[in-house]
Amino acid sequence: MSDCKFPYTGTDCQTTYADYIGNKYYLYNGIFIGAGTITFIFTSIQVFRIMFYTFGHKYSLNRRIIFLAWLANLFYLIQSVDPQGYRGILPPIIEVLSAEISTILCLGILYVFIIKLVIILQGPLLAPQTDNAKKRELIFWSALAAVAVILSTTFSFLQVYKDRSLYRGLKLLGYAFMILIATIKVDYLLWLIKEDAELINRSIKRLWIFASIYNLLAVVVCLYQIISGSITIDQNTELKPELTVDSVIFPFCEILGILLATAFMSKVDYDKEINFDAFNLD
């Protein structure tokens, strides 16, 4: 198998991984496309709705997050045409990059949310900081997002053209780290809001529901990324024509995260509800 060019196998290297796996893969592919299409229709409706009918502030938290979710869904849909690249329909680099861009955009949703909350809470809820300290924190999260883009893109090319298993494992461990620290930061900031009695309202409770569901997904994804990434790097796992647990869990959690972000941001104008004017941001 290893003598054949990905994604082909067999004695004559004419059988795709998808054909080798058989009906199980095509069922998986169909579910992938179906889920991606349904969520893309939903996110597209929400983008149209929020851009033209609700939330007048051009740079509102809702608009930015829903637009990022829509873009993530778009690249998820591209990937769904040939998940894992096993059918040989998409060029390997297109399949890998579409998956990575979708993941990076989902991380972007977290980082936009963090930066927004940091800006809001620099007043009474966080320890007093100088303007330089505030800028350093915002620069840190922006830089972390940039590092995620650079490393993911670099590892994607190395995964396709050098070693598909090793660099995929490194990417998984990197994503686990970035998701973990972003989750801890989001939970901390939302905890600060929850502790302030004046800010407890229906909108904040909605955010806490979202955070609770997200935390469950983050735990599952991080655990599998650490386990799968470590095994791949440690054993230099040979790529085989098979569907693994992580090939099902990661796309499922990603599409569910896109749906959650869109649903929770499409109902309430959090910029208005949290009432930024109540905070001293100067």
Please give the full DSSP string across 76-110, using - where no structure is assigned. Answer: HHHHHTSGGGTTS-S-HHHHHHHHHHHHHHHHHHH
Checking if the pLDDT of 277 tops 90, the result is no
**Residue 278 confidence (pLDDT):** 42
pTM: 0.80
The 3-state DSSP composition of the chain as helix, strand, coil percent (nearest 5) reads 75, 0, 20
> What is the per-residue pLDDT across 221-246, written as a single tens digit (0 to 9) for each?
888 888 888 877 765 556 678 888 87
Q: How far apart are CA 170 and CA 226, in angstroms?
A: 10
Indicate the helix (H) or strand (E) that contains 239.
none
Q: To the nearest whole percent, how much of the chain has pLDDT over 90?
A: 19
> Is there a contact between 103 and 75 (Cβ–Cβ < 8 Å)?
no
8-278 to CATH, choices 2.40.30, 1.10.260, 1.20.1070, 1.10.3210: 1.20.1070
Query: How does the average pLDDT of the chain come out, rounded?
Result: 79
> What is the per-residue pLDDT across 103-148, written as a single tens digit (0 to 9) for each?
888 888 877 777 766 666 555 445 555 566 667 777 887 888 888 8
Give the chain's end-to-end CA distance (angstroms, integer).
63
> What is the per-residue pLDDT across 46-89, written as a single tens digit (0 to 9) for each?
888 877 765 555 557 778 888 889 999 999 999 999 998 899 99
